[in-house]
Amino acid sequence: MLDGTTAEIKPREALRINPAKTCQPIGAMYAALGIHGCMPHSHGSQGCCAYHRSHLTRHFKEPVVATSSSFTEGASVFGGLANMTQALSNIFTIYDPKIVAVHTTCLSEVIGDDIPMMIKKATEEGIIPAGKVVIHANTPSFVGSHVTGFASMVTAMVKYLSESSGKTEAQLKDEPQLNIIPGYIDPADMRELKRIIKEMGVKTVLFPDTSGVLDLPQDGRYRMFPSGGATIEQIKSAGDSVGTIALGHFASHPAAEKLDEKCNVPCALLELPYGLTNTDRFIHALRNHGGVDVPGTLGEERGRLLDAMGDMHQYFHGKRVAIAGDPDHVIALTQFLVELDMKPAYVITGSSGNHFEQRVTEILKDQAPEAIVKQNSDLFALHQWIKNQPVDLLIGNTYCKYIAHVEKIPFVRFGFPVLDRMGHRYFPGVGYMGALRLMEKINDALLDHKDRECPEETFELIQ
């Protein structure tokens, strides 16, 4: 039975049913994979680590490596120091990574393990070899979400690695470098950001960077540490950049603000570059910080997007849409849907943070002021709202497919995780070209549904 949702809405405060999020360590593990030569390490039980690895593997369709402190009852009672010490010894002896990124789990957080002390002790005892690095982020699953975990690990990269060499402002401007913190996006999106940056001719450090790590070509060889990822040296040099562009309030802004505080690198805090306006803002920020002009090639891409928006407007106009997912994704996507003249009716995220409701409400104040916008919500509530007042389109991750199936709604898979389809890690959603792809997916979903459901007398060859 796929439909266990009732139409009668009752108040719920403490209970979440099908929350539109997952736990912090998954985000921390994903961020760690964006460092070249990094071994993510889960300080907790093997079961937690196995779940986090399998969830990422199912989304990216690539083997995700990580190690575990392998807690048992003894570690739960006496603490995980012995487990961590043995784990670090094994990791550097067997796998020889350049860096280990430790994240915690519920169990190690509840017993109060002091990770910095453990790292310090392992360094003093020579367990961490000279020239190797261990960083950490606290990521208990009982608070926050995978987006919080991602943000915490990226902030840890800044805290442990980024540093200022003491160069003067004039010296930095001689060969200006710009930091890009891309947010919780797929490898294809990071690759597209780098393509746009290259077109602009701006020298940048993008971290974390999972392109070349979780979208590898098949050449018959397995590499535990692929060629992709931001290097330790690049992340260190972020402290000598002229500025930082952080994409996404929830996933990227904390690290950018930490870098500003630590190394006095000013930051521009933007939303993810989904759609026309947000991509314009990203390119404008690159132009300002890099002191360059926008090349004609990007102008042509923008023009093609505008042309397609005009061509498809008749299919999008006034369509009611429900959106669920990560807060940064949903905020940017809501902006794009407004640009397409659609009407977001229900906009939710499972993550907490009042910024989400404030920003989405601001975006919708003219287009759909009656929309229901909720942070810390769940898919059960979304389904109930749809049962009471249906929508024309649903956009969200794979878990939304049950709602779409039962209510016979056109469905576009978007965000994290996408577990039941292939290809999303290869095709970007960011930038002008990514916006074209999102429009195609939305239009195909709407017209395919119309062809399936319409009576024979309105079944047309050309729509």
Q: Which of 16-20, 198-202, 359-363, 375-379 has the lowest mean pLDDT?
A: 16-20
Would you state the pLDDT for residue 168?
66
**CATH annotation of 169-217+225-292:** 3.40.50.1980
What DSSP string describes 132-143? -EEEEE---TTS
Hey, what CATH topology would domain 24-160 get? Rossmann fold (3.40.50)
Strand order in the sheet with 243-247: 204-206, 178-181, 243-247, 267-270
- Within the chain, all domains assigned CATH 3.40.50.1980 are found at 24-160, 169-217+225-292, 298-458
Question: Is 247 within 8 Å of 224 (Cβ atoms)?
Answer: no
Q: What is the CATH number of domain 298-458?
A: 3.40.50.1980
385 three-state secondary structure: helix
What integer is the mean pLDDT of 262-287?
96
pLDDT band at 461 (very low <50, low <70, confident <90, very high): confident
pTM (two decimals):
0.95
Average model confidence (pLDDT) for the chain?
94
Condensed to tens digits (0 to 9), the pLDDT of residues 236-258 reads 999 999 999 999 999 999 999 99
Q: Report the C-alpha dihedral over residues 19, 24, 30, 34, rounded to 10 degrees.
A: 140
Q: Are 230 and 208 in contact (CB under 8 A)?
A: yes
Check whether 114 has a pLDDT greater than 70.
yes
Active site residues: 106, 110
b/e map of 11-28 (b: 16 or more CB within 10 Å)? Answer: eeeeebebbbbbbbbbbb
Question: What gap in Å lies between CA 103 and CA 78, rounded to an integer?
Answer: 19
Joined together, the tokens standing for residue 13 give: 């405060």
CB atoms within 10 A of CB 185: 27
Residue range 129-165, pLDDT digits in tens? 999 999 999 999 899 999 999 999 999 999 999 999 8
The per-residue pLDDT for 172 is: 67
Q: Is the pLDDT of residue 14 over 80?
A: yes
**Average pLDDT score over residue span 254-276:** 96
Is the Cβ–Cβ distance between 199 and 172 less than 8 Å?
no
Given this model, what pLDDT does residue 171 score? 67
Residue 11, pLDDT score: 86
